[in-house]
Amino acid sequence: MTASVQELLSTFDSLTEPERLEIVLEILKRVTHLDFPPLSDEDLVWNAEELFLELDKQESGYE
């Protein structure tokens, strides 16, 4: 990850919830027009694993 991307994410994390939602909506509007290559099976499995690990972590916090 580049320094500029890290800085952008850090700034995003410091915003209020309404500001974050506003930025997310603007980014989603812009990326819908990009031509993304299809994800490989390996990419899909990795992303699913990361998602499930995060959900497990959040679930354990509720107990």
Q: Is the dihedral of CA 27, 56, 10, 36 positive or negative?
A: negative
pLDDT in tens, 22-52: 999 999 999 888 888 888 999 999 999 999 9
Domain boundaries, the chain: 3-62
d(C-alpha 9, C-alpha 58), whole Å: 21
pTM of the model: 0.53
Q: How far apart are the first and last CA of the chain?
A: 34
Residue type at 58? Q
d(C-alpha 1, C-alpha 17), whole Å: 24
d(C-alpha 31, C-alpha 17), whole Å: 21
